Amino acid sequence: MKTLGIIGGGQLGRMLALSAIPLGVRCRFLVPKDDAALLDFGARYSQLDVAEINDFTHGLDAATTEIETIDPRIFTQVMQHAALWPTPAALDLKRDRRREREHLTALGLPQPKWSQAGIHADLPAACAQVGFPCRVKAASGGYDGRGQWKVNSAADIAAIPAEAAPYTVEAEIDFRGEFSLVAVRGADGDIRFWTPSLNVHRDGILVRTEPDVNGTVSRDEVAEGERCLRTLMQSLDYRGVLAVEFFRTGAGILINEFAPRVHNSGHWTIEGAVTSQFENHVRAVLGLPLGSTALRAPVITWNVLGFWPDRQALLAMDGLAVHDYGKAERAGRKIGHVTLTNPDAAAIASLESLLG
Amino acid sequence: MKTLGIIGGGQLGRMLALSAIPLGVRCRFLVPKDDAALLDFGARYSQLDVAEINDFTHGLDAATTEIETIDPRIFTQVMQHAALWPTPAALDLKRDRRREREHLTALGLPQPKWSQAGIHADLPAACAQVGFPCRVKAASGGYDGRGQWKVNSAADIAAIPAEAAPYTVEAEIDFRGEFSLVAVRGADGDIRFWTPSLNVHRDGILVRTEPDVNGTVSRDEVAEGERCLRTLMQSLDYRGVLAVEFFRTGAGILINEFAPRVHNSGHWTIEGAVTSQFENHVRAVLGLPLGSTALRAPVITWNVLGFWPDRQALLAMDGLAVHDYGKAERAGRKIGHVTLTNPDAAAIASLESLLG
């Protein structure tokens, strides 16, 4: 029996555990913040001191993380005792958006024209370099649409908070849609892709995602996207699931960002694919053979944001799988997701009206 | 958020928990014997004293059990503080095979001709009443083919252990096959059936089960079987999943036995049905709406008995879901199951050769 260590106490860690346990994998958790999703597994909050981390790593076959943003010394300490996937080098790129962009630039992968500014005073030059309109993003700490500012002209720069520095500046693009690719790389370098995900964001937050069963994303776009993931994963000696969000433009696809972990746009794989992103991440991290990523059925996943709608009504819907993360309700918070299998127009409409 | 209490620490409890957690249901366990499957959830073995049972029941929305055979006073004590489904009355029938047969007789449901013997000395008369050949079964404690003796003539009776008394005696039947029906009854009396399961036993132990996608069981047999389950569930004011094993004979179907819980012949529903038996049991027990029991895809489930074959080879098989109960290997023990989705002849052959 193998033992997997999971760093992080949110829904991603929980779904990893729910996939790992049937494989006969014992899970152990290091939970660095007050997050309820893993309490079902007996996980307790950790102060992340040396003794706790040593207890956590004792006898692990491997460790993984659902979060990139905790103190990197924790990753280093875990690495002293157990293999950690993704490696700290890959996680490090996500601590600073400038490093992520630099890495993509070094690999020659397509992305929006970009520049960087270390302090607020550097923003006018950085924006001018990229051209207007552009988008300024905090290099650290922004997610789900937070820490981003649209800049139509130099006059807009003053309103950007100085304490958000450092920044990246990214050119506005000829936006024609977006999609993401989720892939897994195994211990032997085997890479498998799930069907591309079509994503709908609202106010920067993913609200709906589904496998592209109708070929909305062209074969050329998918091929170029898969090339990007292969290049990126190989550059990082990657093991596990990695997701990349792409913009579709008139001049081809551009990388918005990558996530070195299981990703919200892959939640549909639980019901929609032969092997879910969670199970394949567990398999990869533990050096087990990968499972098939083939599509099982058309599905659509919606995030549940802030508050639960009438749960009885949700549970009564045929073919709807409910994933409640066990979190307290709070405006805008991702507290669950629901996945509809073999969706038809009537079911989609009634579900979207329920979800608001 | 609802809290469900689960009595029992084996694979059924574990699969119930794995289905309950995504629904936002918190699980608590009362584990009456040394069984490893639930350790992942922080469950600890209980001495089943009053204080422990009171801790277990505190604040539960409902309780359920994966075992029928523990001291019935435990069920009674749980019932003092929390709704328990199935009710002790239903569980009680399974403590003595004579009571189960008497209940079926009272309902007028089809079963093999049977009689009973309180002590060994009563066996000759009981066997003669049923006729030879017949099958003597220990009224309590027998399962997976244990506690059963084929009696071809009165001369065979002497070899039956006296300490296995009391007994039932059941007529040998014109056996043409078997199947089981798994159904769930909700709080509102709504009853839903999964596709009938075709079962293959070896030495009395279930080794293979699959939904009957080709109509091997006739429509009349299914209709009569469903009538049996409806009658039985209504007679017990049942809530949750119940399974009935049927023999197919030239004179119609006969009930072998029923199980007041999720059942091994329903494990295929995890991958093969829209809603699994485990999730619907949780929904029913908590008074939530039932999910669809429709077939998602053809599947076959094999039990893994005694020892694991090459796990790398299993995990490398396309479309094979592995369920490892985390139990120590021991000859004949059910330590896991595997389910193949969209099975073809080549995959079935290579899998059966792996499983031995």
The total domain count for chain B is: 3
> Tell me, what CATH number does B148's domain have?
3.30.1490.20
Q: Report the Cα–Cα distance between both ends of chain A, in Å, rounded.
A: 44
Q: What is the mean pLDDT of residues A97-107?
A: 97
Q: β-pairing, A62-65 with A3-7?
A: parallel
Question: Residue A284: closest CA among chain B residues belongs to which residue?
Answer: B315
Same domain, B262 and B332: yes
| pLDDT the model gives residue A348 | 97
pLDDT value at residue B70: 82
B301-322 pLDDT tens trace: 999 999 999 999 999 999 999 9
Residue in B with minimal Cα distance to A186:
B316
If you search the block for the tokens 């908590």, which residue do you land on?
Answer: B286
Picking from B18, B312, B324, the nearest residue to A18 by CB comes out as B18
Q: Are residues A192 and A278 in the same domain?
A: yes
Give percent above pLDDT 70 in chain A. Answer: 96
- The answer to whether residues B21 and B159 belong to one domain is no
Which of B1, B42, B294 is closest, CB to CB, to A42?
B42
> Distance (Å, rounded) from C-alpha B114 to C-alpha B205?
22
| pLDDT (0 to 100) of residue B237 | 95
| Domain C-terminal end among B125, B151, B171 | B171
Same domain, B158 and B179: no
| Contact yes or no for A24 and B312 at CB 8 A | no
B122 in a structural domain: yes
Q: What is the largest CA-CA distance in chain B?
A: 61
CB contact under 8 Å between A324 and B23, yes or no, is yes
Instruction: Give the model confidence (pLDDT) of B92-144 as tens digits.
Output: 999 999 999 999 999 999 999 999 999 999 999 999 999 999 999 999 876 66
* pLDDT value, residue A35: 59
> Is the distance from CB of B27 to CB of B4 less than 8 angstroms?
yes
Q: How far is CA B55 from CA B44, B70, B216, in A?
A: 13, 19, 48
**Closest Cβ–Cβ partner in A18, A40, A315 for B289:** A315
**Res B248: pLDDT:** 96
Rounded CA gap, B41 and A43, in Å? 9
- Which residue blocks in chain B are alpha helix, DSSP H? 11-20, 50-57, 72-79, 88-93, 97-107, 123-130, 219-235, 269-272, 277-285, 311-315, 345-355
Report the percent of chain A where pLDDT is more than 90. Answer: 83
Distance, in Å, from the CA atom of A287 to the CA atom of A292, rounded to the nearest integer, reads 15
Q: Are residues A284 and A236 in the same domain?
A: yes
Q: Is residue A107 part of a domain?
A: no
| Same domain, residue pair B226 and B159 | no
Chain A positions in Cβ-Cβ contact with residue B321 (cut-off 8 Å): 22
Nearest C-alpha in A relative to B324: A24
Question: A92 lies in a domain?
Answer: no
pLDDT at B50: 84
Q: What is the distance in angstroms between the Cα of A327 and the nearest Cα belonging to chain B?
A: 9
Alpha carbon distances (Å) from A4 to A74, B113, B183: 16, 53, 36
Structure-token pair, residue A56: 């956590």
Q: How far apart are CA B267 and CA B273, in angstroms?
A: 10
If interface means Cβ-Cβ distance under 8 Å, which residues of chain A face chain B?
1, 14, 17-18, 21-24, 26-27, 39-42, 274, 283, 288-289, 291-292, 294, 296-297, 311-312, 315-316, 318-319, 321-326, 336, 341
pLDDT reported for residue B36: 58
pLDDT in tens, B33-59: 656 566 667 677 777 788 888 889 999
Of A288, A315, A323, the CB nearest to B283: A315
Catalogue the E-assigned strands of A264-305.
Answer: 299-305
| Residue numbers in A near B336 (CB within 8 A) | 24
Q: Is A40's CB within 8 Å of B23's CB?
A: no
Whether B23 and B124 map to the same domain: the answer is no
| Binary contact (A324, B274; C-beta < 8 A) | no
Return all residues near A309 (Cβ < 8 A) that are at least 6 apart.
A354, A355, A356
Is there a single domain that holds both residue B239 and residue B324?
yes
| Closest CA–CA distance from residue B81 to any residue of chain A (Å) | 22
A315 to B14: CB separation less than 8 angstroms, yes or no = no
Chain B residue at shortest CA distance from A292 = B318
**Partner residue opposite A18 with nearest CB, options B1, B21, B311:** B21
**Per-residue confidence band for A51, with pLDDT thresholds at 50, 70 and 90:** confident
- Cite the beta strand spans of chain A per DSSP E: 3-7, 26-30, 62-65, 114-117, 134-138, 148-151, 167-171, 175-185, 191-193, 197-202, 205-211, 240-249, 252-259, 299-305, 320-324, 334-341
What CATH number should be reported for the domain holding residue B75? 3.40.50.20
Contact criterion met (CB below 8 Å) for A135 and A148: yes
Q: What residues of B are in contact with residue A11 (Cβ under 8 Å)?
A: none
Domain boundary among B84, B99, B124: B84
Instruction: Judge whether A89 and A285 are in contact, CB under 8 Å.
Output: no
Max Cα-Cα span within chain A: 61
For residues A250 and A120, membership in a common domain is answered with no
Confidence of residue B9 (pLDDT cuts 50, 70, 90): confident
pLDDT tens profile A162-195: 999 999 999 999 999 999 999 999 999 999 999 9
Range of the domain at B259: 175-355
Look up the ipTM and state it: 0.92
pLDDT, one tens digit per residue, over B226-278 is 999 999 999 999 999 999 999 999 999 999 999 999 999 999 999 999 999 99
Cβ contacts below 8 Å, chain A against chain B, sum to 92
**A206 lies in the same domain as A310:** yes
Q: Quick check: B319 and A26 CB within 8 A?
A: no
Q: Please report residues of B whose CB lies closer than 8 A to that of A288.
A: 311-312, 315
Q: Cα separation of B269 and B274, whole Å?
A: 8
Residue among A220, A174, A184, A216 at smallest CA distance from A199: A216
User: Are A277 and A266 within 8 A, CB to CB?
Assistant: yes
Distance in Å from the first CA to the final CA of chain B: 44
**Inter-chain residue contact B18 with A23, CB threshold 8 Å:** no
Q: B220 in a domain, yes or no?
A: yes
Judged by average pLDDT, the poorest of A51-55, A309-313, A338-342 is A51-55
- The radius of gyration of chain A's CA atoms, rounded to the nearest angstrom, is 20
Q: Are A285 and A344 contained in the same domain?
A: yes
Q: Which of B76-90, B265-279, B289-303 has the lowest mean pLDDT?
A: B76-90
Q: What is the structure's pLDDT at B143? A: 63
In a domain, A160, yes or no: yes
Q: Round to whole Å and give the CA distance between B28 and B6.
A: 6
User: Is A31:A9 a contact under the CB 8 Å cutoff?
Assistant: yes
Determine the average pLDDT of the residues in A68-81: 88
CA A42 to chain CA mean position, Å: 25
Q: How far is B190 from chain A (nearest CA, A)?
A: 12
B321 part of a folded domain:
yes
The arithmetic mean of pLDDT across residues A79-104, rounded, is 94
Among the partner residues A22, A27, A296, nearest to B18 by beta-carbon distance: A22
Name every chain A residue with its beta carbon within 8 A of the beta carbon of B28: none
Of B264, B225, B269, nearest in space to B247 by CA? B225
- pLDDT band for position A16 (cuts 50, 70, 90): very high
Q: Which residue of A has its CA nearest to B12?
A: A22
Residue B100 lies in a domain: no
Token readout for B234 is: 């209504």
Query: Which of B18, B289, B318 has its CB closest to that of A292?
Result: B318
CATH number at B249 reads 3.30.470.20
| CB within 8 Å: B22 and A23 | no
Shared-domain flag, residues A221 and A321? yes
Q: Considering A171, A188, A205, which residue would you say is the last residue of a domain?
A: A171
pLDDT for res B46: 75
Helix (H) / strand (E) element for B30: namely strand B26-30
User: Which residue among B22, B321, B336 places its CB closest to the CB of A323?
Assistant: B22
In a domain, B99, yes or no: no
